[in-house]
Amino acid sequence: MLRSALPAVLFLVLPLSSAAARTWYITPDGMGDAPTIPAGLDSAAVSDTVLVAAGTYTTEVSRDFEFSDPAESVTLTAGGFLAPGVSLVSEDGPGATTIAVSGGPNVHCLVAALGQGDAESRIVGFRLEGVSGATAVLAREMPETWWIHIEDCIVESVDGGEQAGGFWSVNAGRSRIVDCAFSDVVGGPTFTTRGSVGVAEHLPSPNRMEVLGCVFTNRGGIMARFGLRYLDVRNCTFEGNSQPCGIFSDAVHTTVEDCLFDHCLHHPVYMIRPGNSSGTVRRCTFLDGVGHSSIGSGAVYAIYVNTRTVEDCRFERCSGSTGAVELLSPSWEGFAYVRNNVFVDITSMWFGALHCRWTRGEITGNTFVRCHDLDPDPPGAAIRIWPLDPPGYAMDVHNNIFTESSGSPAVGIRDVGAVYESCNCYWLNEAGDTDGFTMDATSFVLDPLFCDAASGDYTIQSDSPCAPPGVTGCGLVGAFPVGCGPIATEPRSWGRIKSMFRGR
C-alpha cells in the first residue's frame, strides 16, 4: 500500500518546487503584477524574474540603504535594489525598454547591495539613462560566491562622479558584463577611478570581472583597481577612448583577447601589478593609438607585472614615448614574451616600437615594418632593450623581420647584459640594423619578399629567404607564413631604374 502511494506523493511535491520561482510582470501603465520596477524588485525573491514590458520607465527613488564597511559609512540611493538571485529582464530589449532616473544627482539607476548566498543576479536588455554623479549599475558588499550578470544593455552620456559611470563594483564578488554598449560614459576625477566599467575590490580571491563582447566609445573604458584577482576582457571594441586608456588593470591576472582598440589615448592597455602576477594580450588589433609623450606607449604598457605576454597582435600607426609596447619589470623576477605580432608604421619619441627594460624573456616571430625613432639616442627604432643586469639575464631575439626602420638602428641594446640574437631578417633599415651587439651568423640582410606590402599583406612569397627551411636553416622567420607563390617583377631598363632615384 505504501509503495503504491509513493508516486502520488512525488507528483504533489514536484510542482511545489517548480512553483517557487515566480515572474513579476511590469507594464508602463502600472497595471502589471507590481506597479513599478522598484516595487517588482522589492517583491521578488531568490530565483524570481521581474519581466519588464517595452516602454520608458522613469523611476523615483525607491529607498536608501545605509551601512558601514571597514573604511566608511555609506548611504546608497537608487531607483531600484536587486537582491541576490533575482533577474531583471526586458521583454523587447534595450531598443524598446528604457530605465531613467529622476531625483537629482548622486542617484544610481540600479543597485545590488548587502546580499547573502551564491545565487546569480541578472540585468538583461535595458537602456539606462538619466544618471548624474552616480553609476548606472552599482554592486556593493556582496559575497565572493555571488555573480552579477549584465547583458545586452546600453548606457549613454553618464558621468559617474567618483566612480565608474556604467558599472561599478565594490566588495562585490564576481561580475560578468556581456554584449553591452557604453558611449560617452566616464567616471571620477582621478586616473584611478575613470571609466565606463570599474571595479574596486577588497575581497580575497576568487573575485573576478569578465567583460565579453562589449563596445566602448568616446571617453571611458575599463578600470580594475584594488585587489581584483582576475580580469578577463574578450571580443570587445574600444573606439576613441581617453578616460582611461581602453583598459587600466592592477588585477593579479589580466587577460585581454580578440579586442579592437581604435584611436585610443594614453596607453590603450595599461597593466600594473607587483608580485606573482600575469598580463596577457592576445589576438588584438591596435590602430592609431597614442601614448603620453613623456612616458607610456601607444598600445600596451605593463609595469611590475611578473609575466607579460603579447602575441598574435597587430599594431598600426601607434605612437608615444614607446611607439607600441613597453614592458618593464624592476624586480628582475619577471619575464616578457613577445611572439608573432606585426608592427607597422610605428613612431616613438625615444624607446622604439617595442621597449623591454629590466626584464628577461623572448622576442620571436614578429614582423616590424617602417618603425621610426624620433630620437636616435638611445638606439632601437624597432626594439630597444636595456639594461640587462644582473649578469646572466638575457633577452632572446630570434626569427623576426626588421624592414625599413628609420631614425636609429632597428635593434639596440644599452648598458650591461646580453642579447641572444639569431635567425633574424634585416632589410633597408636606414640607420643600420643593430647597435650594441654583433649580428649572429644565422641572421641575414635580404629582402623578405612580402606578398603585397602595399595593401598590408605581410605574408611571404614561397621563394622568400624567410620561408622554411630558410636561407640559413632557421625555418619560418617573421609573423606570417607563406601566402603566395613567387611574384614576377616587371622588366625595367637601367635608364628607368636611374630615373626612379633622380632628385633624391
Q: How many CB atoms lie within 10 A of CB 393?
A: 16
Q: Which residue has the higher pLDDT, 101 or 425?
A: 425
Mean residue pLDDT across the chain: 81
Q: How far, in Å, CA of 317 to CA of 324, rounded?
A: 9
Residue 340 CB neighbours (<10 A): 19
- pLDDT of the residue at 152: 97
What pLDDT shows up at residue 31? 96
Query: What is the mean pLDDT of the segment spanning 248-271?
Result: 89
Q: What is the mean pLDDT of residues 227-254?
A: 83
At 18, the pLDDT band (50, 70, 90 cuts) reads very low
pLDDT at 383: 95
- Of 38-47, 57-66, 130-139, 180-189, the range with the lowest mean pLDDT is 57-66
Of 50 and 331, the one with more pLDDT: 50
Distance CA 167, CA 46 (A): 22
Q: What band does 77 get if pLDDT is binned at 50, 70 and 90?
A: low
Q: Which of 63-67, 380-384, 424-428 bottoms out in mean pLDDT, i.e. has the lowest?
A: 63-67
Q: Which residues of 402-439 are buried (b: 16+ CB within 10 A; e: fewer)?
A: bbbbbbbbbbbbbeebbbebbbbbbbebebebbbbbee
List phi, psi (to 5°) of 6.
Answer: -60, -45
pLDDT of residue 397: 95
pLDDT average, residue stretch 194-200 = 61
> Which domains are present in the chain?
75-491 (2.160.20)
Which positions ≥6 away from 148 have C-beta within 8 Å?
82, 112, 120, 121, 122, 123, 137, 139, 142, 169, 172, 173, 174, 175, 176
Q: What is the pLDDT of residue 20?
A: 74
pLDDT, tens only, 80-119: 788 888 999 999 999 999 988 765 566 677 777 655 556 7
Confidence tier at 223 by pLDDT (50, 70, 90):
confident
The rounded percent of the chain whose pLDDT value lies above 90 is 43
Query: For position 127, what pLDDT does the model report?
Result: 93
Q: Is 35 helix (H, G, I), strand (E, B) or coil?
A: coil
- Average pLDDT for 193-205: 54
| pLDDT exceeds cutoff 50 at 499 | no
Which of 254-258, 484-488, 492-496 is modeled with the greatest confidence? 254-258
pLDDT band at 205 (very low <50, low <70, confident <90, very high): very low
pLDDT > 60? residue 339: yes
Which three cell numbers, joined as nine digits, stand for 25?
510582470
Residue 455: predicted pLDDT: 94
Q: What is the percent of the chain where pLDDT is above 70?
A: 74
- The pLDDT, as a whole number, for residue 226 is 67
Would you give the end-to-end CA distance of the chain in angstroms?
A: 106
Question: CA–CA separation, 229 vs 246, rounded Å?
Answer: 19
pLDDT tens track for 377-409: 778 999 998 765 555 567 899 999 999 999 999
3-state secondary structure of 222: strand
